[in-house]
Structure 1
Amino acid sequence: MNAYRETPTRRIDVHHHFFPADLLKETSNQNIGWKTPAGTLPWSPNASLKAMDASGIDIAILSMPALYKGSVCEENRAMARQRNLHMSQIATDHPGRFGFFACLPFLDDIEGALEEMSYAFDVLHADGVSMSSSYGDGPAMTYVGDDRYDPIWAELHRRQAVVFLHGAQITSSTPIPHPLLCIPISEVPNETFKAAAHLVVTGRKRKYPDVKIILAHLGGTTPLLAPRVAVLSNHMGCTLTPEEIMEDFKDFYYETALSAYGASLTAMDEFVQLDHILFGTDFPAVSQGMADWFTRHIEEHYLNEPKKLSMVMSGNSSQSKAWH
């Protein structure tokens, strides 16, 4: 009998990637210095189901990073629609096992993003949308809290929607420290923090409180750097008080993929309410075995608190209205 049937605690994985063949994910992995884990590519729904069953995961919410061209064009709109139709079909073909966070076109295309959002929610019944921490390249790169994106956040707020926010796979202004500390390891988590901080200090998070934003990887460095932002950004002119800034950081949802460990989970227990911690794996960006290493640490952390474990693994997603 596989682990899916043996595991008593229901599991909903909110960080589970959709990697269609035409994404050429192995090539993009090479470009960012990431060694593709054995057995994860080529990806298919059956590959995910096999890993899910072995790891005791009931439902996976599919998402993919923003890999569109940095421009406003019909190609980006068509690509987003194609991806969303594909994920929706997977969910239909495997009822009760998959949901999805919809892709949006390049975010500077406000009209296209609003149009795709409407189609994804009203026609395809997406569970939310996925966003990258920033859009564009070099000096033209813009973080998601920028004023230009205000119409998108206003619509997400109106819909009381969920946003899955993932750090962009971009280099910093200096080379990576070492090949063993490539972009996904050293840069992506910090990009998540930068986007979260940008949303807070620009007031976007407070202006649109009905948007439920899930930060990937426990928010990267967010829990540790939030107090620094609270005091120093206030000093630099942020109109929010340090206490208000901290309140807004604590209002994000945080998922556990590649970040769950005793010390980090203890910090999260102190930083946010328990109902703001969700379960994620990051499969198939990582192998099932790599994801299971972190899952075991969640189970160990809440070993003597089965109700808390159940909340993190699924209850916070399915019962506390984390995205419904």
Structure 2
Amino acid sequence: MARSLRIDVHHHIFPSGSRRSVHRDPIGYHFPPENIPWTPEISLRTMDALGIDLAVLSVPTGLPDPPAGPDNRRSARELNEMLANICKDHPDRFGWFAATPLLTDTEAALAEIAYALDVLGADGVGLASSYGLGKDAVYVGDDRLDPIWQELDRRGVAVHLHGAQTPSSTHWPDKTLGLPISEVPNETYKAAAHLVVTGKKRRYANVKIILSHLGGSSLILAPRVAVLSHHMGSLLTPEEILADFKTFYVDTALTAYETTLQTAKNFLPPDHVLFGTDFPAISKDMAAWYQKNIEQFYNDNELKAVLSDNILKLMPGLQKRIARA
């Protein structure tokens, strides 16, 4: 069988001067020094080495920097223009998810989403699981953000939802278990569960939500939510809650292993699993380890679907980028 087309749906940019442009980050993670400072050429070299044809770029969670206001709005615009220019320079290698101002700045977020999609040609929108810290955090299913979901639903847009780098109430337990390792997967789950139990996932069913990292802990904890959240007042039955969890899409970034891929295969429709790497937050060799697990787990037809067919079905606009290759 010929080599399958590979589309990486989880691939970041690290803008110069951002918190992600330094080797050591306060979230408790060492970014690969060879990827810093990041440039598109660094991604292209790794993509070529791993046989990745196209990467859909997004900004790391936490960008643009808070608080809400003119600087945050300006930064979102600059990030989106940067993403658009990268894709203009490499039209057959990159797509992109739009950045937004803080979603609590609702009118600004709506305006930037429209500009990114309609003027700059974004392929979708990137969102964090929550905005703010501690008691001030607002999760994406919050009622105050309904105008944003209404607009995304009207457009039928693809959304890449990434867990926020949110500190726990306690410090991470070891220097090798910083926020990206210990907290991000659970933040993804919390956002997904919030959308489900509040009925937002079915109310805005036209939004195609891709959860990062196989949904974090979502697939494992969905049955727990189904019974206990219904008991605690969710108007959905356990069966409805589970059904709504199964409407999410997931990417394979940092999670591809026999047991986790089998869980996704058992729980989700076969076309809801998408290939992702999380480069340049990880090295080429780390990405290759996960990619090897994917290639060993799936049969040829399943592999072709995960590596490219599923994402092209979900985001058919990417086909025009592939066609330029």
- TM-score interval, smaller chain: over 0.9
Check whether the contact 1:51–1:288 (CA below 8 A) recurs between aligned residues.
yes
Instruction: Give the CA deviation at 1:96.
Output: 1.0
- Match in the other structure for 1:55: 50
For structure 1, which segment, 133-142 or 60-69, has the greater mean C-alpha deviation from structure 2 after superposition? Answer: 60-69
- Match in the other structure for 2:309: 315
Secondary structure at 2:187's aligned position in 1?
A: helix
Task: Evaluate the alpha carbon distance shift between residue 173 and residue 135 of structure 1 in structure 2; reply closer, same or farther with a 3 A threshold.
Answer: same
* Equivalent-residue separation in structure 1 for 2:273 and 2:6 (angstroms): 13
Q: Are 2:101 and 1:105 equivalent residues in the alignment?
A: yes
User: Which residue identity is paired with 1:280?
Assistant: G
Instruction: Give the CA deviation at 1:7.
Output: 7.5
Q: 2:164 aligns with which of 164, 168, 186?
A: 168
Instruction: Give the CA deviation at 1:307.
Output: 0.8
- Match in the other structure for 1:243: 239
Q: Are 2:290 and 1:290 equivalent residues in the alignment?
A: no
Secondary structure at 1:100's aligned position in 2?
A: strand
Check whether the contact 1:66–1:103 (CA below 8 A) recurs between aligned residues.
no
- Match in the other structure for 2:20: 25
Write the deviation string for residues 133-163 of structure 1: whole angstroms up to 9, x where unpaired.
1001221111100000000000000000011
Query: Structure 1 unaligned runs (5+)?
Result: 1-5
Task: Evaluate the alpha carbon distance shift between residue 323 and residue 172 of structure 1 in structure 2; reply closer, same or farther with a 3 A threshold.
Answer: farther
- Match in the other structure for 1:45: 40
Write the deviation string for residues 183-212 of structure 1: whole angstroms up to 9, x where unpaired.
111111111001100111111111000000
Q: How does 1:1-324 map to 2 (within 5 A)?
A: 8-27=3-22, 29-64=24-59, 65-302=61-298, 305-318=299-312, 320-322=313-315, 324=317
Instruction: Give the CA deviation at 1:321.
Output: 2.7
* Equivalent-residue separation in structure 2 for 1:285 and 1:199 (angstroms): 27
Check whether the contact 2:64–2:101 (CA below 8 A) recurs between aligned residues.
yes
* Equivalent-residue separation in structure 2 for 1:34 and 1:114 (angstroms): 32
Secondary structure at 1:254's aligned position in 2?
A: strand
When normalised by structure 1's length, the TM-score is 0.95
Write the deviation string for residues 7-38 of structure 1: whole angstroms up to 9, x where unpaired.
71110000000111121414484211111213
How many correspondences in the alignment? Answer: 316
Check whether the contact 1:77–1:105 (CA below 8 A) recurs between aligned residues.
yes
Instruction: Give the CA deviation at 1:71.
Output: 3.1
Check whether the contact 2:167–2:179 (CA below 8 A) recurs between aligned residues.
yes
Instruction: Give the CA deviation at 1:323.
Output: 6.2
Check whether the contact 2:157–2:207 (CA below 8 A) recurs between aligned residues.
yes
Instruction: Give the CA deviation at 1:170.
Output: 1.4
* Equivalent-residue separation in structure 2 for 1:42 and 1:126 (angstroms): 24
For structure 1, which segment, 293-302 or 28-37, has the greater mean C-alpha deviation from structure 2 after superposition? Answer: 28-37
Secondary structure at 1:180's aligned position in 2?
A: coil
Check whether the contact 1:217–1:258 (CA below 8 A) recurs between aligned residues.
yes
Secondary structure at 2:33's aligned position in 1?
A: coil
Secondary structure at 1:85's aligned position in 2?
A: helix
Secondary structure at 1:181's aligned position in 2?
A: coil
Identity of aligned residues (%): 53
Aligned-pair Cα RMSD in Å: 1.4
* Equivalent-residue separation in structure 2 for 1:107 and 1:33 (angstroms): 26
